[in-house]
Structure 1
Amino acid sequence: MKMESHFRIHLVILTLVLALAAAFRSYAAETDSRSDTESSDSLELLVGDEIRLSFPGAPELSGEQRIRRDGRITLAFVGEKEVIGYTSSQLEDKLLEWYDDQIVTKEVTVTLLSSTFPIYVQGTVLQPGEIMSDRHLTALEAVLKAGYDPKQANLKKVRVIRTEGDRRKNFNLDLQAVLEGEDVEPFFLKPSDIVMVPEKFIWTGRR
């Protein structure tokens, strides 16, 4: 009887692990398919990001750079420019402005190659704490990396806490809807964001 009980427990654990792995692969594939558009067009550049500048009409200006701690990069013939806070498309506009008198072909492409920053996952997860990411990470990906028990974690009421200067913002997310296949816009995290996963409330009927 004990052996049968242990076997059932191991079977349940294995089923949960396989389900989480399948969910992560499915969601990762979906977000990866959007990564070029999402990362380049809607996410702000951060300190430590590595970017590629491509000038079709002036290849001598093209190259790869990493954004320094002061938020700047060094541009040929232009000098040092602060670029953090811009999205890739916004930086493209600024580059055309900075090089307006020096290039004939008014075209430039900014590509985000890599990004490394910490985020934190707390609450009802299997491995709470810091997660270092080398790319822009969604809230769901962070929770999947930390691991969770579907019977205990309430993914319908996940909260992201973000500090910007002296202000703190809260974002309420329904990550369960994403896992269930609903068309929900991915929520991308920023450096030092805190993802809080609450516990499910289970009504026992007792007083």
Structure 2
Amino acid sequence: MLTPEPRSRLSVLRQSLRLVFLAVALLSASCQTPVSTQLPQEAGPSKRVTLASGDVIKLIFSGAPEQNQSQKIGADGKINLPQVGEITAAGKTVAQVQAELTALYKPLLRNTDVLVVVESGAIHVYMAGAVGKAGPLVLDRPTTILQAVMQAGGPNQFGNMRRVQVIRLVNGVERSQVVDLRPTLRGQATRPFYVRDGDVISIPQSAF
């Protein structure tokens, strides 16, 4: 016995709607949207745990002061030292570099104690949106969000400084916060918001 045509059409319609809802759910689950929240704030600029390209480190040899020197970690993540050659410093902690240098200089020096001090650390942030120069920005000193925006050429004619978005990786999760920079630009006393290594700073366009 054949099913009446209206009922058949209704079944097809219901099945189509279920497929549409399923597709929307899968698409939503696959999208990675930063969680909007209040980013952790600190009294001053943060310090990275590991070294990175662009950092300047000072090497102090307690048993051979003539070997003392400052080295800038190259784009390849390495430093080049007399007698031992190139070693990789980027991605390692200061303690790890000290231990590696101590082991390398052990056959060469009587006192192999080596102290590694970070003289200046490079901070890599990424500028996006309605800014003069979008793209990666390398900072060699503690920098606030406003200073980073200005170093990238400032907002363009469409830039909205009221809703500057900062995206930051916190405990493996991308989190974002919207910051209003207008009070600072007007000369009001505001708490400085320092950028961290890896931050993405996005300036949206004004609606009008």
TM-score by length of 2: 0.50
Q: Which structure carries more relative contact order (alpha carbon 8 Å, separation 6+)?
A: 2
Q: Which of structures 1 and 2 has the bigger CA Rg?
A: 2
